[in-house]
Structure 1
Amino acid sequence: MNAAVKTFVALAVIYLQVNIVNAQQAAIGKTEITKWQYGKNGAVSLTYDDGSINQFKHALPIMERLKLPATFFVITGGIPGSKYYGKFIGRPVKTIIKESATIPTNEKNFFERCSAGGYLGYKGTISYVTKAVGLYDNVKRREHAFKVMDTLYQKVRNGDFQPGYQPCDEVLQEDGLTWDDLRSYSGRGYEIASHSITHASMPGLDSVNISYELEKSKEEIRDKMGVRSTFSTEVPYGYEDERVMKIAYKIYPVLRNRMPEPWLKEIDRASKQTPCTTTKDYIQWQRGATTKTPLSLMESWVDTAVAKNNTWLVLVFHGVDNLGYEALPHTMLDEYFQYIKNNQKDLWIATFGDVARYMRQKEYTKLEEGKTGDKLIINLSSPLYRGLYDLPLTLKTYVSPEWKRVWVWQGKRMQRVDATTDDKGSYVLYQAYPWTPLTLAGKEN
């Protein structure tokens, strides 16, 4: 091949490369809503169940030092000053006790007997209800569940229990928690959300008593904390019982138990599955550390969320420092939270409610682009209720390479953003609310 031909071939290759690059360049004004706020690569939420006092005494100070937000699902009925407490809604319990002497527990009366079980006027009965519901959740073991309830009512009839009322251990572990404390934590950026009134085993309750547990807990939190705190809930024990979920969906916008959205793949904490390829936009990956979970495994969960671009790691904690279910030492949490903090460059660390809000806002917000002279115009619109869906979305807009600095106006709010580049061109990242048009203008320096 002579020199002229070689030169021609080299120029042709360069021409093709330039055209391929140009074909990949994003059009000026092209805008997208980033998958996660601030354009991060993944998200993680720290969540706590039950409201154990040690969560606030020993875990919260660590998070405050590291400036990490978290969500606390609290049992409202056990907090002093609460208006709504545990009770049975239905026929007189004496009638139910009397019937149990001649009519065995069966499919027709199981829910009623479970619902009444904690309110028969005796201490120690709730543990029988919890055990029966755990068995009932397995279809093959329902006869065993019925026998547990028969045993409970027989003991009540025999006078084997002490008179009175005794809540479950989770309620007792909240001792020392106050609404004033919770309002203070909320004001410091922590999400306080519902975990029902009494930590009841919902799949064993009838619909009236399920509704009471969830609705009145929501009402309590609304009155004590404000409407924004009524966004999220976790139905106790992590149940995903379909009958319970249908009732809960009508009361709360978001359940940690389940979020049945067409754009979300869910992996619950009992599953051994890990995030993998999916056609859905997001994956919610729940993991629950126990006393047997090595720190290295917990750290690998964070690494996975960083490596993916669609994964929301939802961490579930219960007990802290020997108080509560599967209690973890605060020293271990300190080390783990520091590891999460060290990955903050790639991970959006936010409350459960805020991540759920952001995803839903992104999926339901419509975006329109336009130009007026040398300005870019972005219009956003959303059908979601502004009172609850009030997080700013992060927008990524491609701009002229001559724009080194960009001014973004939305109403009276102005942001000044420095442009940066990727393989598609120059762009800016900025925050925007989906109800007021945006105007972008830039300068060369």
Structure 2
Amino acid sequence: MKPTLKLFSILLISIGFSCTESNPNVGTSEITKWPEGKIGAISVTYDDGIINQFTIGKPIMDSLGLPATFYIITGKVEGSGKGKFIGRDPKEIIRETASSKTDSSNFFERASLIAFTGTTEAEDYHARAGSLFESGKIQEAYSLIDEGYEKIRAGKMVNTGEVIFHNNAEDTTSWEQYKSYAAQGHEIASHTVTHARLAVLDEVNMLYELEQSKADLLKFLGEESIFSAEGPYGTENERVMEYAHKIYPSLRNRMPETWLEEINRGSKAQPGDSEKEYVQWQRGILTRHSFEDMKSWIDTTLNHDNIWLVLVIHGVENLGWEPKTRDELKEYFSFMKSTEDQIWIETFRDVTKYVRARQNTRVESRFENGKITISLNSDLDPLLYTVPLTIKTYIPEDWTQAKSSDQKTLTIQEDEKGKYVLTPLSLAETQTFITN
């Protein structure tokens, strides 16, 4: 069982005399929707581990002090578990395709194997069959697999020579480099072992794609890299989600919560129409998107208080799917930086940790004898949910100063409910506030 925490913080302000406080808000506390009382959040995410993301995109973000999440295909990294088919003898499966059509009893096994039969054309059959299957075109997916195996049996399946965006030969980033990027504040996370169409894999091969990727990230980078993941092609397949949510605490694909509205990349829904506490609004940054298009997403985030804008980038400069140029990224990230006083820009992992902790933590406080005592109660694991929550506490109108127990001065602010102070508090922390 996860530990239930009861955390205490005490704010003591010396006022020099006793008084009767008329403001009923004094001594009350709340956890702000976003850290430091900001009005929204942005996570910049990159898919596929394309080398230009690290040689062009990352340096631009580093120069501006902006963190990013990189969902990498771990099988491409030297030293990792590689892609493979797990199951019966492939020759036996291929022989069976000559005498029996593909149907629901054998589709997942055949779709899992075909990508590992030795050609790029066969990999494409796997990907296209997955696309048909996820689009609800089940019989078409079966027929395509039959067509592919007919080619394999006839020796007509070939290497096409076409560029596979997520498997560029140039992508040679090492685990040592990834470890240094993580140490700089970026999130390095799973995009599976081979970028497979998870929805058409049988159980053992799907689990290998998810679990081997996690194992390598844990081995080479540590716990912080196995919190979030992204299933390739943005899959929302229910069967995949059921498996993946048992392996990773958070998925960019889906994050089902009663308090969260999810608007994924293909949706035209408007985030401002949602009344949920939070809206995760995903936008894919594509070649055709102008600066004004992309700026409008940030402007929308600024005009509401519940939007988490999740940006998805693939290609950079001249490499990868739907690439954006160096200059376009520099202009956009610079504008994003200019909004940092109002928008929290953080990794997908850390935004997830904050909003989930806020929704699963209760705050209580009381004002007596010149002290405001704050207590947090959470059922979440403090070793996993490590992002501090921001506590907003209302203080008496005649208080002119406040310092925390570590003698840091707390800035006194004011809104329509009265004077207040903000202070960070982690789930694993006990802190006492005291005046000069």
Same fold (TM over 0.5): yes
> Does structure 1 residue 127 correspond to structure 2 residue 124?
yes
Q: Give the counterpart of 2:268 among 256, 269, 272.
A: 272
Structure 2 equivalent of residue 401 of structure 1: 397
1:351 aligns to what?
A: 347
Instruction: Provide the residue aligned with 1:63 in structure 2.
Output: 61
Shift of 1:162: 5.5
Query: What SS does the corresponding residue of 2:243 show, helix, strand or coil?
Result: helix
- Compare 61-70 and 431-440 and name the one that shifted more: 431-440
Q: Deviations over 1:302-321 (max 9, x none)?
A: 00001100000000000001
Deviations along 1:93-118, whole A, 9 cap, x unmatched?
10110000111112221111011111
The 3 A distance-change label for structure 1 pair 34 and 149 is: same
Q: Is the 8 A contact 1:78 1:172 kept in 2?
A: no
| Residue 93 (structure 1) aligned to one of 73, 90, 93 | 90
Mapping for residues 203-352 of structure 1, pairs under 5 Å: 203-352=199-348
**Cα-Cα RMSD:** 2.0
CA distance in 1, matches of 2:295, 2:365: 41
Contact preservation (8 Å) 1:286, 1:314: yes
* Aligned 8 A contact 1:26 1:425 in 2: no
* Corresponding residue for residue 152 of structure 2: 156
Q: 1:108 to 1:174 in 2, by over 3 A?
A: farther
Distance 1:167 1:335 in 2: 28
Structure 1 equivalent of residue 194 of structure 2: 198
Aligned counterpart, 1:72: 70
CA distance in 2, matches of 1:199, 1:270: 20
Report the counterpart of residue 428 of structure 1 in structure 2: 421
Letter in 2 for 1:356: T
Distance 2:149 2:25 in 1: 72
- The whole-number CA distance in structure 2 between the counterparts of 1:69 and 1:251 is 24
State how far apart, in whole Å, the 1-side matches of 2:349 and 2:414 are: 32
- Residues 358/420 of structure 1: CA separation in 2 closer, same or farther (3 Å cut): same
Q: 1:131 to 1:414 in 2, by over 3 A?
A: farther
After superposition, give the CA deviation of every residue in 1:165-200 in whole Å (9 maximum; x if it has no partner). x99541335622111110000000000000000000
| Contact residue 390 and residue 425 of structure 2 kept, 8 A | yes
Shift of 1:224: 0.5
Task: Give yes or no for the alignment of 1:439 onto 2:436.
Answer: no
Q: Structure 1 residue 430: deviation in Å?
A: 1.1
Written as runs of structure 1 = structure 2, the 5 A alignment for 1:359-438 is 359-409=355-405, 413=406, 415-438=408-431
The amino acid that maps onto 1:418 is: T
Task: Pick which of 393-402 and 186-195 moved more.
Answer: 393-402
Query: SS where residue 44 of structure 2 aligns?
Result: strand
Query: SS where residue 309 of structure 2 aligns?
Result: strand
Report if the CA contact (8 A) 1:407-1:440 is conserved: yes
Matches of 1:269 and 1:308, distance apart in 2: 19
2: distance between equivalents of 1:62 and 1:351? 16
User: 2: distance between equivalents of 1:424 and 1:286?
Assistant: 34
Number of residue pairs matched?
Answer: 416
Paired residue for 1:40? Answer: 38
Query: Once the two structures are superposed, what CA deviation does each residue of 1:190-224 show, in whole Å capped at 9, x if it has no partner?
Result: 00000000000111111221111001100110000
Name the SS of the counterpart of 1:377 in structure 2: strand
CA distance in 2, matches of 1:122, 1:70: 34
- Kindly state the Cα deviation for residue 437 of structure 1 after the two structures are TM-superposed: 4.0
* Separation (CA, whole Å) in 1 of partners of 2:74 and 2:392: 41
> CA 1:414 to 1:51, structure 2 compared with 1: closer, same or farther past 3 Å?
farther
Counterpart Cα distance in 2 of 1:135 and 1:414: 61
Residue 113 (1) aligns with residue 130 (2): no
Aligned 8 A contact 1:379 1:437 in 2: no
Q: 1:11 matched to which residue of 2?
A: none
SS of equivalent to 1:344: coil
Structure 1: runs of 5+ lacking an equivalent: 1-21
TM-score (norm 1): 0.89
Question: How far apart in 2 are the matches of 1:378 and 1:174?
Answer: 53
Distance 1:34 1:404 in 2: 22
Q: TM-score, normalised by structure 2?
A: 0.91
Query: C-alpha distance in 2, partners of 1:434/1:127?
Result: 47
Distance 1:437 1:136 in 2: 51
Structure 2 segments unaligned to the other structure (5+ residues): 1-20
Name the CA shift for 1:436/1:42 in 2 (closer, same or farther; >3 Å): same
Pairing of 1:18-33 with structure 2 (within 5 A): 25=23, 27-33=25-31
Number of the residue aligned with 1:49: 47
